[in-house]
Amino acid sequence: MTKDIKTGKPQRIGPLEVWPLMWSGLSDAIYRTPPFTNELKFEEYDDGDGPRVSCIAVENLSDKDFLIPSGWIVGAELLQVRSFNSAELVPAGHSILADVSCVEQGRWSMGVNRTDAGRAPLTVLAAGYDYEAESGSWRINPHSRQSRVWSQVARQENRSGVRQTNSLEQIMREDATSDLNVSNLQFEIASELKTFDGQNGALIAFQGEPLIMEFFSNEESSKHVLKETLNSLAFDLDQFGFRPLNKSQIDGFIAMSGIGDLHALSEDTWSLLMAGGNERIDTRATADSRQKIMNLTSINRSHRILMEV
């Protein structure tokens, strides 16, 4: 399966290295990914005992399926800003219940926030997972996930000062203009990032080590989410020296990612959530009804910047 993945010439962006990837044989399902404006409606889910922090309802008001990537931050009129725990497919004209985490610890009240706030930093997205040897995959620890997410949001907040509601959306929005390192890197991403025809994936490396690899069967979605992922990584970087990778390191990471040995985590009418990898690499995939991959994300859990999450 991995032999179908082709690697392009890498590009340096600040301290990051971006390797373009092309993977044939993925799903031909038609879907959209963020940005979204009025197409999706987010509401608190009340099961009779009041709204729950860990679950929201998402309704797709459009005539196109939407695939929301893991770690995407949404606010709208929710009682607090949330981040998606995993990728979620929301079919056209349907509603789903999505597993989420709070990224705004200090508010539980009506408010108005940006509906689409981009992707959370990788340290927030990856927080609260533990490796389960029996299944050979990384699983959310339901007892510590939320507190570990809040710890990583607090670490982001320490960079520029406490906000009234400890909102990750506000932290990222304000620090994108006030923090010189973040703003400079995001400017370089906007002006310098190059993508190629046929590219539906990328591997991002930092400090000479793979950090995250991601594919979307929708080529346009892959390129947009790549840019948002790079923007979010700007908040996690603590060093700005550059160390390159070589092709053999890329091949080794792809081989160890468990792409050819995915197993099901959950299944609904429209999509299948799958996982793979090992104690070093966390791989998750969303497949269509024919079990062809729409989205796959592999995170290097042994990378230095993720060791404390």
> And the tokens for 306?
């993720």
With 70 as the cut, is the pLDDT of residue 2 above it?
no
Q: Which pLDDT band, with edges at 50, 70 and 90, does 263 fall under?
A: confident
Q: Which pLDDT band, with edges at 50, 70 and 90, does 15 fall under?
A: very high
The model carries a pTM of 0.95
With 70 as the cut, is the pLDDT of residue 1 above it?
no
- Binning the chain into helix, strand and coil, the percentages to the nearest 5 are 25, 35, 40
Report the pLDDT value the prediction gives residue 9, as an integer from 0 to 100.
96
> And the tokens for 289?
């009804």
With 90 as the cut, is the pLDDT of residue 149 above it?
yes
Scanning the structure block, which residue is given the tokens 């709070």? 102
Given a contact cutoff of 8 angstroms between Cβ atoms, the answer to whether 101 and 146 are in contact is: yes
Report the pLDDT value the prediction gives residue 77, as an integer from 0 to 100.
86
In this prediction, residues 140-154 reach a mean pLDDT of 97
| 231 CB neighbour count, 10 Å cutoff | 20
Taking the chain, what is the end-to-end CA distance rounded to the nearest angstrom?
A: 31
Q: pLDDT tens for residues 33-69?
A: 999 888 999 999 998 889 999 999 999 999 999 999 9
Q: Which pLDDT band, with edges at 50, 70 and 90, does 113 fall under?
A: confident
Distances (CA, A) of 191 to 82, 124, 180: 29, 26, 16
Question: CA–CA separation, 309 vs 307, rounded Å?
Answer: 6
Question: CA–CA separation, 26 vs 277, rounded Å?
Answer: 19
Given a contact cutoff of 8 angstroms between Cβ atoms, the answer to whether 7 and 20 are in contact is: yes
Helices (H), 126-178: 145-157, 168-178
Nearest alpha-carbon partner for 280 in 299, 309, 301, 249: 301
Q: Where are the domains of the chain?
A: 2-30+181-306
Report the pLDDT value the prediction gives residue 267, as an integer from 0 to 100.
72
Specify the 3-state DSSP secondary structure of 269: coil
Q: pLDDT tens for residues 177-236?
A: 999 999 999 999 999 999 999 999 999 999 999 999 999 999 999 999 999 999 999 999
| 163 CB neighbour count, 10 Å cutoff | 16
Amino acid at 127: A
Scanning the structure block, which residue is given the tokens 């594919």? 215
Q: pLDDT tens for residues 156-193?
A: 999 999 999 999 999 999 999 999 999 999 999 999 99
With 90 as the cut, is the pLDDT of residue 131 above it?
yes
Scanning the structure block, which residue is given the tokens 């269509």? 288
